A = this chain, B = another copy of it.
């Protein structure tokens, strides 16, 4: 009737896409089946290993909730998320040869929380989380360096000990905020200097990393989604220069162009006029957006 061996089965599965009306979906599923089967054949996957994988994927789904996305974490730690970012960047770079480089993207990660509060320029978004204060300052421009007024920065980070608000018992938003650039395309706000931290290790992905012999740490960074009318949004980080794990980010997200010096200052009047009674840092970065 319709019996297949370890080789002919793959084409039989692909042939079932004959009536698929979505050409792109057909292409993606054809490639997925081919690579999935090639993987199983390459390692001669056993039934015991297969059921272990089924249980792992099930556990990963069960670990997802409003505050946690374990499948994104899995994708991040296997380098898939960063590969998708890099593929997007490579597509965008075509036809822009010679143009000034745009701000590079990196992974969104599992801690984005839509609906962060709008903040005025210069406000402190830290909401009292632990950590050394830091003034973030810079501009949002187009690729020619022209300022983009009213550009939106959607910012989030962990605290000075590497813990995100989503991971705290108190469920409120902290160290998150939306800011809009002024007429000169400038932004500035206060938060803390983030430190390195482990991705969540108390779930299936943590157990996988442990078994892989890998550390779970990410270098210190602050997340930004930056957008402006008529331009492509970019989801990125600023990484803290000299942070541990810059050379072995657990999610492979580091870009040299995103590493920023956090200049340390003694107590006194900060560049924006704020009186600081303890040491603080200043991190400067200009975002450059690609036309839409």
Contacts and interface: CB of A to CB of B under 8 A. Distances in A.
Interface of A: 1-6, 9-10, 12-13, 16-22, 25-29, 31-33, 35-47, 49-50, 54, 57-62, 64, 69, 71-72, 75, 78-88, 90-91, 211-214, 246-249, 252, 254-256, 259
25 contacts: A1-B256, A3-B256, A5-B86, A6-B90, A9-B252, A13-B78, A16-B214, A18-B213, A28-B43, A28-B45, A31-B43, A33-B79, A35-B39, A37-B79, A37-B80, A40-B83, A41-B87, A45-B83, A45-B84, A46-B87, A47-B85, A50-B84, A57-B71, A58-B64, A62-B64
Contacts of A214: 16-17, 19-20
Contacts of A84: 40, 45-47, 50
A32 B256 CA distance: 28
Q: Number of copies of this chain in the oligomer?
A: 2
B259 A10 contact: no
B211 A22 contact: yes
Given A27-B43, A29-B212, A36-B35, A82 B252 contact: no
Given A40-B87, A61-B57, A259-B1, A79 B254 contact: no
A178 B214 CA distance: 45
A38 B128 CA distance: 45
